[in-house]
Amino acid sequence: MEAVHQVMEGKVLSQVITLPKSFHNVMVEVTVAPVVNIPEQSLTRNKLRNQLGGSNTESLSGVLRSSEHITLEEIRAERRIKYERVD
């Protein structure tokens, strides 16, 4: 895996990313490397309930199958099927 290291002034870097004030007046080392194996985000029924608890959209959690991991795209697909049908 390749990585790039550079030493630069904290004040210059702070224009690109947020740094603590203590880094502004010193030299800092920056390392940049590609991200490998980004884990797929998944939701469980409990995670969704915690996020939506008490909100108007809480009823949407009924689309989730119990105790299974489900991706956001799978949730969208199931909701589209339900609401795109013409009765």
Which pLDDT band, with edges at 50, 70 and 90, does 58 fall under?
Answer: low
Structure tokens at 10: 């904290």
- DSSP annotation of 16: T
Residue pLDDT, tens place only, 5-56: 999 999 999 898 888 889 999 999 999 998 887 777 777 777 766 776 666 5
DSSP-derived 3-state class of residue 5: strand
| pLDDT in the model for residue 81 | 79
Query: What is the distance between the alpha carbons of residues 41 and 38, in angstroms, rounded to a whole number?
Result: 9
Structure tokens at 75: 């949730």
Structure tokens at 53: 């608890």
| pLDDT in the model for residue 12 | 92
**28 strand-pairing partners:** 8
